Amino acid sequence: MADRHLIALDLDGTLLKDNKTISKKTKEIIQKAKELGHIVMIATGRPFRSSEMYYNELELNTPIVNFNGAFIHHPKDPSWGLFHSPLDIHVAKQIIDACRTFQFHNIIAEVMDEVYFHYHDEKLLDIFSMGNPKITTGDLSRYLTDSPTSLLIHTNEDDLQKIRQHLSDVHAEVIEQRSWAAPWHVIEIIKSGLHKAIGLKKAADYFDIPRERIVAFGDEDNDLEMLEYAGRGVAMGNGIDQVKAVANDVTLTNEEDGVGVYLAELLNIK
């Protein structure tokens, strides 16, 4: 198909409604887009274990970007390649040590599907237990022995900027850091040079889709590079201002079928 598009979907706040489901309408439009020969993929900050259910629900057969680009693979085709780019264990340990001089609630390290909690944490356990990972709790400087795919620091509003400033001063060369959306005061850290657009480029090269036919949807600061890379970056109506500023278009919110409505119009789906 000469004009097939590569459609990249962020999950939380984008494809998913606030109750973490995909609306019937958006799902039907995505199915029609696939029937027309367009390629649909997921690009998320989540690990694979907590995005696999949506991958299966949409009956995808494409690569998926997890951990904001720190892990990229094709669940249905092992020969496609598996790209895991963890944060160096020594850098992770330095960050964990530095946190002792700041106020923080918890530090969580994820090594693919293993989750390490510095402190026991009922509030965050819920978020991280999806997909049934192996969970270890205890001092990360002792228990964390592998380079983590991602490192999360849960702190309070006042200390978030202080810790981010320290990370920029000391580790800017080796890490990428972002803050989660309110109400969570979480700093997410992955290896430098990684973001969702890296996975998007690998997929576009594989399917031989030029940039002008890549459509990417997102709402948060971990979507910025992906929206800039795509020929058509689409911000959700509920997205942050920064995302709307880099986007080519703004669609309706995640509660109003923003993804489905936009695709139906773009691809002429009745």
Query: Which residues carry out catalysis?
Result: 10
Helix (H), strand (E) at residue 135: strand 134-137
Joined tokens for residue 96: 């964990």
The answer to whether the CB of 72 falls within 8 A of the CB of 199 is yes
Length of the chain: 270
Instruction: Please give the structure tokens belonging to residue 127.
Output: 């978020």
CA atoms within 13 A on the CB side of 219: 24
Q: Is 78 exposed, middle or buried (0-12, 13-18, 19+ CB in 10 A)?
A: exposed
**Other residues' Cβ atoms within 10 Å of the Cβ of residue 81:** 12
DSSP 182: T
Closest CA to 48 of 36, 56, 58, 40: 56
Q: Which residues fall within 8 angstroms of residue 197, CB to CB, at 6 or more apart?
A: 69, 225, 226, 228, 229
Using the Cα atoms of residue 110, residue 180, residue 224 and residue 249 in order, give the sign of their dihedral. positive
d(CA 227, CA 59): 24
Rounded distance, CA 108 to CA 96, Å? Answer: 10
Task: Assign 3-state DSSP to the chain and report helix, strand, coil percentages, each to 5.
Answer: 40, 20, 35
